[in-house]
Amino acid sequence: MTIAVVTDKLTKQEGEKKTTRRRVADRVNRLNFLGEPVRVLLSHPRYDFTLSVKADPQPCDGETLEVHWRDPLPDNASQYEISGIVLPGDPRAFTISIGQHEITAKGISCPLPPAGTALPARQATRHRSLDGIKATLSQHSARFEGRLIDFSAQSLCVEIRIEKPHSRYWIVAERQVHLTLENDQGILFSGETEVLRNQTGLDSQSFVLAPREMNTPRFTTRRYRPSREFLFPEPTLAFKHPLTGRHLELNITNLSGLGMGIKEYPEQAMLLPGMILPMMHIKLVTGFFIPCSGQVVYRNQVDDHANGTQCGIAILDIDIQDHLRLLSLLQRAQNRNAHLSSEVDIEALWEFFFETGFIYPSKYQQLAQQKDGFLNSFRKTYLDQTPIARHFTFQSEGQIMAHLSAIRLYEQTWFQQHHAARRAGKHAVGLEVLHQLTEYFYNACHLNNDKIGYVAGFYRPENRFPSRYFRSAVKQLNNKKAASLDLFAYFSRIPECYKQWSRTETTPAWRLQQTTRGDLIEFNGFYEQVSGGCMADALSLKAEMLGRTVIEEEFAKLGLTRRRHLYSVKRGQELMAIIELHESDTGLSLSRMDHVVICYVLNDELPPELLCFKLQRLVVKFTLEQPPLMIFPASYPEKHLFKREKTYEMMIQNMLHIEEYMHFLNNFIEKHRSNS
């Protein structure tokens, strides 16, 4: 609408200021450049009302003002007087009063006055919307479509089409209205709003709406909040504003792995709570930026003289490797000795493993046979940032003091391993890397939950620290679906079988076949009865996971092999055991956990000699090189006087309960420090 009845009066207002002719001319040229109109106010001398008429300003030479009407004037335009011209703009609009002028059907031409008036700054600057922003209003099942006209950080102006005359009464202004804004790429805003005012036209209706919530949390309220770092120099957030198309670059006041704080001022405010930012870049220094998408989740007034506002932006989506770079930076900012998946001196790392006793003689006997393979795999893992491995080191004065790594061995599960530390007096550097790992997965699981569902680890029950730590965690969480422990019997290689099962033919009642969905359903019933923990989910032993090749494809992208096979041992139709084995060429684990064969025994009546015979057949079939064996439950070998070499306990942590685990970890560290 280019002609409207308004209540504008060019009376003196508190806070207005005089402005120069030069600034007025600059504003006219700016509006011409942007293709934006001015408003010419036509006052009726007898009936005391004003028409606001839009006109396009022409290039100004600093002496003469010329504007052209956007639409023809009313026939009785000669009955009106020009009371002023409004030049919109931020942070203040300008007004001018004109004297001698020439008014025609085309427009107005007049001398530019010697000065203008800068109106008081708006409490919230309004911004014109891009064309093509679709607006949908809905209330009590009534739905209207239209477009976004303009907006501020506190309200929006929307115009909807009225297709049925009586439907203009279907929106009740006293009730909240749901507003959705979208473009060709998707939804940009969706939320409940209040109607501040509305105006009805012949076939349209406009609404000024205010979001009901200034805080729109993206995630559930957290008891534990990741640390926010105040970096110097401040990084910036660069993005194309989805509603205006303008490029913005704002300072980031604080930054975490899940979001950031931005400070805005009224004259530049453009961040609307709930608004989606489809593409933004966290710029740390020139040429180094991290792409992601986000959402404005809160807007809070700051108690300062500039009336600033603190806005929170949550990261919605980010590439897993880009997120790794961001978290690595934040961990270094928090602790300059903390290193996350940074390049490591491989020779120094091997020296560290030997000096800390992590590689003890019997372990090295196994390692020495495949030394070249391990060296190649470690170089690939520690020099390249791969999506299947993470390593955490605590380094002081160029020396590795503590180390912990994690590898993704199952679709949703990462195994932590290689935890070792030098003696550092009272400083528990081993706990430092444990905190690094947990903090990393806390941040990463919220944005890559399909790849990080569980974190697991094996440890010897005789080892004092891991036993105390992991058992305390399980006890504290007191929920086997949040954290669980399962005991395994361990053999460095598959035992030989000596009895009748070593013959080429076995009793026909015993069968070895590929595991079916029905077998896994039965196994889950068994596991719930004997344990009730997280293992079936974490190790992809659910029926719906059978046949999935996600992890196989991830390894293949890196030129590595990890292929899982599941076989069932049956007596007739009765399921006796499930055997899990892997074709793998990775050498990512010094304990060979990426090669281990796992046997889940459901029925103790399964003869151990028969089990070993079936295992050896499978090892030959897949040409595996003397893989270690783990048996669950650990009690099975004992019942058959089958001597195991060691026992290992597997602790699994469900990332859906990471909040509770983080509280436990922080309390554990504080208690350890206070006792040191």
Q: Lowest mean pLDDT: which of 23-37, 413-427, 492-506?
A: 492-506
Higher pLDDT, 652 or 426: 652
pLDDT score, position 261:
94
Residue 664 identity (one-letter amino acid): F
Predicted local confidence at residue 42, as pLDDT: 85
Indicate the burial class of 240 (C-beta count within 10 angstroms; 0-12, 13-18, 19 or more): middle
Is residue 278 within 8 Å of residue 186, measured between CB atoms? yes
* Distance from C-alpha of 277 to C-alpha of 484, rounded to nearest angstrom: 39
Of the candidate CATH numbers 2.70.210.12, 2.40.10.220, 3.40.50.2000, 3.40.50.970, the domain formed by 236-318 belongs to 2.40.10.220
Quick one: DSSP state of residue 77? G
Contact between 307 and 297 (Cβ < 8 Å): no
Bridge partners, 157 (sequence order): 150, 208
Distances (CA, A) of 554 to 163, 441, 557, 563: 53, 19, 5, 11
Edge-first strand order for the sheet with 629-632 is 338-340, 389-396, 399-410, 413-421, 454-459, 646-654, 483-491, 629-632, 597-601, 574-584, 562-571, 510-514
**CA distances (Å), 384 to each of 91, 375, 388, 390, 414, in order?**
50, 14, 11, 10, 18
Phi and psi at residue 143, to the nearest 5°? -130, 130
Output DSSP code: residue 544: G
Render pLDDT for 484-496 as a digit per residue (tens, 0 to 9): 999 999 998 898 8
The CATH code of the domain at 336-483+655-675 is 3.40.630.30
- Output the pLDDT for position 306: 59
Q: Residue with structure tokens 């190649």?
A: 376
Instruction: Summarize the confidence of residues 554-583 as an average pLDDT.
Output: 93
Q: How confident is the model at residue 379, as a pLDDT? A: 73
- Res 285: pLDDT: 80
pLDDT of residue 92: 82
Instruction: Quote the tokens at residue 251.
Output: 């300072």
3-state class (DSSP) for residue 577: strand
Q: What is the pLDDT of residues 196-224, one digit of tens each?
A: 998 887 788 899 999 998 877 777 766 77
Q: Given a cut of 80, is residue 307 above it in pLDDT?
A: no
Taking only the tens place, the pLDDT of each residue in 81-100 is 888 899 988 778 899 988 77
Q: Cα separations (Å) of 113 from 23, 42, 54, 92? A: 11, 18, 20, 18
> Using H for helix, E for strand and C for coil, what is the string for 84-153?
EEEECCCCCCEEECCCCCEECCCEEEEECCCEEEECCCCCCCCEECCCCCEEEEEECCEEEEEEEEEECC
Q: Is the pLDDT of residue 586 over 70?
A: no
pLDDT of residue 123: 58
Under the banding of pLDDT at 50, 70 and 90, the label for residue 164 is confident
Q: What is the mean predicted confidence (pLDDT) over 554-572?
A: 92
Burial 516-547 (b: 16+ CB within 10 A, else e): eeebbebbeebbeeebebbbbbbbbbebebee
Write out the DSSP string of 595-654.
T-EEEEES-TTS-HHHHHHHHHHHHHHTT--S--EEEESTHHHHHTT---SEEEEEEEEE
Alpha-carbon distances, residue 122 vs 117, 118, 277, 502 (angstroms): 15, 11, 25, 89
Q: How far apart are CA 151 and CA 11, in angstroms?
A: 26
- 591 φ, ψ (degrees, to nearest 5): -95, 5
Whether 385 shows a pLDDT value over 80: the answer reads no
pLDDT value for 15 = 59
pLDDT value, residue 518: 97
Per DSSP, what are the bridge partners of residue 459?
649
How far apart are the C-alpha atoms of 529 and 507, rounded to whole Å?
A: 30
Mean per-residue pLDDT, 141-169: 87
Checking if the pLDDT of 504 tops 50, the result is no
Q: Which residue has the higher pLDDT, 346 or 116?
A: 116
- Residue 72 contacts residue 51 (beta carbons within 8 Å): no
| Residue 43 tokens, joined | 């006052």
pLDDT band at 268 (very low <50, low <70, confident <90, very high): confident
Q: Specify whether the CB–CB gap between 382 and 349 falls below 8 A.
A: yes
Q: Do domains 127-211 and 236-318 have the same CATH topology?
A: yes
- As a whole number of angstroms, the distance between CA 432 and CA 30 comes to 57
Quickly state the pLDDT bin for 172 (edges 50, 70, 90).
Answer: confident
Question: What residue segments make up the domains of the chain, in order of their start?
Answer: 3-118, 127-211, 236-318, 336-483+655-675, 487-651
> Taking a C-beta distance cutoff of 8 angstroms, is the pair 538, 456 a contact?
yes
Which of 445-449, 498-502, 567-571 is predicted with the least confidence, judged by mean pLDDT? 498-502
Q: What fold is seen in the domain 3-118?
A: Pnp Oxidase; Chain A (2.30.110)
For residue 655, pLDDT over 90 is answered with: yes
Q: What pLDDT, on the 0 to 100 scale, is given for residue 50?
A: 83
DSSP state of 657: G
Question: 42 near 69, Cβ under 8 Å?
Answer: no
Other Cβ atoms within 10 Å of 672 Cβ, number? 15
- The pair of three-digit structure tokens given for residue 372, joined into one six-digit string: 């070249």
pLDDT at res. 499: 55
Which position has the higher pLDDT, 359 or 426? 359
Retrieve residue 600's tokens: 């889940």
> What is residue 562's three-state secondary structure?
strand
Question: What CATH architecture does domain 127-211 belong to?
Answer: Beta Barrel (2.40)
**Model pTM score:** 0.81
Nearest to 133 by CA among 150, 117, 120, 119: 150
Structure tokens at 638: 């004992």
Looking at residues 605-619, what average pLDDT do you find? 93
**Cα–Cα distance measured from residue 593 to residue 457, given in angstroms and rounded to the nearest whole number:** 10
CATH architecture of the domain 487-651 equals 3-Layer(aba) Sandwich (3.40)
Q: What is the dihedral angle through the alpha carbons of 343, 346, 348, 352, rounded to the nearest 10 degrees?
A: 100
Average pLDDT, the chain: 87
Residue 7 has pLDDT above 50, yes or no: no
Could you give the angle at the alpha carbon of 289 between the alpha carbons of 559 and 227, nearest 5°? 95
**What mean pLDDT comes out for the span 525-533?**
97
Q: Report the percent of the chain where pLDDT is more than 70.
A: 92
pLDDT at 672: 75
Least confident of 52-56, 333-337, 424-428, 468-472: 424-428
> In 3-state terms, what secondary structure has residue 4?
strand
| Res. 226: pLDDT tops 80 | no
Q: Of residues 219 and 62, which shows the higher confidence score?
A: 62
Rounded distance between C-alpha atoms, residue 540 and residue 408, angstroms: 12
Using the predicted structure, report yes or no on whether residue 165 has a pLDDT greater than 50.
Answer: yes
Confidence of residue 4 (pLDDT cuts 50, 70, 90): low
pLDDT band at 501 (very low <50, low <70, confident <90, very high): very low
327 confidence band (pLDDT: 50, 70, 90): very high
Close Cβ partners of 593 (under 8 Å, ≥ 6 residues apart): 409, 415, 417, 458
Of 23-27, 106-110, 584-588, 622-626, the range with the lowest mean pLDDT is: 584-588
Most confident of 295-309, 385-399, 520-534: 520-534
Query: What is the Cα 49 distance to its own chain's centre?
Result: 54
Res. 240: pLDDT tops 80: yes
Peptide bond into 633 cis (omega under 30): yes
**Exposure b/e, 417-437, CB count within 10 A at least 16 = b:** bbbbbbeeeebbbbbbbbbbb
Q: What confidence tier does 387 reach under pLDDT thresholds 50, 70, 90?
A: confident
Return the pLDDT at 52: 85
